[in-house]
Amino acid sequence: MKKRIALLAAALCLLLSLTGCGKLKDLNESSITLKDNGSIEVVMYESFDKPYYSEDELMNAVNAEVTAYNGEHGDGKIKVGDHKLENGVMMLTMTFKDVETYNNYMPEKIYVGTLGSCVSAGYDLNRSLVVVGKDGKTVGKEKLADMSSKKVIIVNEGVNVRCPSKVTYYSQGMEYVDKQTVKASAPGCYFVVYK
């Protein structure tokens, strides 16, 4: 029994640490959605193709970990949403009250703020961002420095990023999906500027 619990705990850690890291190519795509109220919704997909995995056991482990986190940091900081284990793929939705909660819980960190404040947080503006709707035109460090009040989300993993409003610039190496969503297919440092 202890071995099984340890295996489930390891599987949960794997689910959380591998989300969107480029190893899920043939699976559905993980996403991070920044909501208007500052909360973060994450949809994660991970392969659990061994016959000994049970959705109930996996969800019991997830719920126990989230309950423990909320007990220590404040009720309602993390909510577990939809989940499904189908054809060997586990889909799990989680909502984090704010960026701080997300960064405390998840292995990959994100930054949400302004271009000006991201420099103070240690991010470098020495990069090129694609201008939405301008056929591949890019802007660089000088232009980005002039846009210090613009909102930005910075991610370090291959994941779909959905913003609460229109995306205006995004890092090279990302793909434009729709007016609020861009996609990073591989790990890296990606900037998404939005209105």
Q: CATH number of the domain that 39 lies in?
A: 3.10.28
**88-98 per-position pLDDT tens digit:** 888 999 999 99
**36-89 per-position pLDDT tens digit:** 999 999 999 988 877 777 888 889 999 999 999 999 999 999 999 999 988 888
Region 164-170 average pLDDT = 98
H or E segment at 61? Answer: helix 55-73
**49-61 per-position pLDDT tens digit:** 777 778 888 899 9
Would you say 157 and 174 are in contact if contact means Cβ atoms under 8 Å apart? no
Q: Do 89 and 115 belong together in one domain?
A: no
**138-162 per-position pLDDT tens digit:** 999 999 999 999 999 999 999 999 9
**Number of domains the chain is built from:** 2
Which one of 105, 127, 157 terminates a domain?
A: 105
Q: Do 54 and 78 belong together in one domain?
A: yes
Q: Do 51 and 126 belong together in one domain?
A: no
What pLDDT, on the 0 to 100 scale, is given for residue 28? 67
Q: Do 159 and 68 belong together in one domain?
A: no
H or E segment at 8? Answer: helix 2-18
The better pLDDT of the pair 58, 111 is held by: 111
Amino acid code (one letter) for 192: V
The whole domain housing 127 covers 111-194
d(CA 22, CA 184): 9
Q: Do 116 and 59 belong together in one domain?
A: no
